[in-house]
Amino acid sequence: MIRTLALCAAAAVAAAAHVPPAAAQSKPPAVERDATTAEFEKFRAVLEADNPAELFEANGAELWKTPRGPKNASLERCDLGLGPGVVKGAYVQLPRYFADTGKVMDAEQRIVHCMVTLQGFDAAALARQPFSNETRTPDPVAITTFVAGQSRGMKIAPPQTHPQERATYAIGREIFFYRAGGYDFSCASCHGEDGKRIRTQQLPNFTRADEAIRSYQGWPGYRMTGGVMHTLQWRLWDCFRQQRFPEPGYVSDSLTALLTYLAVNARDQVYKGPGIKR
């Protein structure tokens, strides 16, 4: 279903001119923060001081430079968009178009691509158990955490210069507003309006530039529930689960489109690196 939608949307935008991102011209009024939310944010700030995510960042750094896999090669020639081996600043400039694959790719998708092409790992094997559990953290998760850490303190800046980058943004927006599943939910059902909340979680409005950053901020994130490291691939998978949607494919193009939509909306906001979650 998503694939058919993607093809329709692609055909529609193929003929369209440049599609501007959602950032408003005038600044909309700031979303109200109640006292409870303020307390939670203070609590989170204290937790961020010593974040177990650093342990996974260090693991990822090791995995990046260690020769591994059937080809016994390191990832130091992996091109994340800024040239082979350039990691600093790459995460915030993704998703982007890659000439060698002819498509727009996000961070984890590109890392998996490098693991497969440079190191000879099997993509299907990586997709079989892509997410962390209490006993195991998959290599792409640790590597993505390392790569994300190398963009700490930098502005979110995914390019929208290539026509495919703009088309991918448009597809991501279509998916964001697409209602489906048993509850007839879209991403926008929870994240398309100001002032929404589920239990104690305030729901940011990702269509606003100043709130879209909250989709990216803190991911990859160390989740204290279970003590596990998770990336945006997991977070979007969990969103689909919460919406009662079918499972998205690991590092599939529909997730790239959604990530493009979110990243472009969050443009110019400062990314603080891997975070910590409840």
b/e map of 72-81 (b: 16 or more CB within 10 Å)?
A: ebbbeebbbb
Task: State which residue, 130 or 204, has the beta carbon closest to other proteins.
Answer: 130
Task: Read off the amino acid at residue 277.
Answer: K
Task: State which residue, 172 or 221, has the beta carbon closest to other proteins.
Answer: 221
C-alpha–C-alpha distance, residues 169 and 187, integer Å:
15
C-alpha–C-alpha distance, residues 139 and 220, integer Å:
13
Task: State which residue, 133 or 201, has the beta carbon closest to other proteins.
Answer: 133
C-alpha–C-alpha distance, residues 165 and 243, integer Å:
27
Residue of 130, 146, 126, 149 whose CA lies nearest to 76: 146
Shortest approach of other proteins to residue 58 CB, angstroms? 7
- Residue of 78, 114, 187, 239 marked active site: 239
Shortest approach of other proteins to residue 55 CB, angstroms? 5
Residues in touch with other proteins (CB under 8 A) = 49-52, 54-55, 58-59, 133-135, 222, 224, 227
Shortest approach of other proteins to residue 31 CB, angstroms? 32
C-alpha–C-alpha distance, residues 58 and 52, integer Å:
10
Task: State which residue, 136 or 179, has the beta carbon closest to other proteins.
Answer: 136
Task: State which residue, 24 or 224, has the beta carbon closest to other proteins.
Answer: 224
Shortest approach of other proteins to residue 112 CB, angstroms? 23
Shortest approach of other proteins to residue 10 CB, angstroms? 39
* Annotated catalytic residue 239: yes
C-alpha–C-alpha distance, residues 71 and 98, integer Å:
23
State the maximum Cα–Cα separation within the chain, in Å, rounded to a whole number.
Answer: 55
Using a 10 angstrom Cβ sphere, with 0-12 exposed, 13-18 middle and 19 or more buried, the burial of residue 228 is buried
Token pair recorded at residue 207: 């269509």
Asked whether the beta carbons of 234 and 228 are under 8 A apart, the reply is no
Instruction: List, by residue number, the catalytic residues.
Output: 239
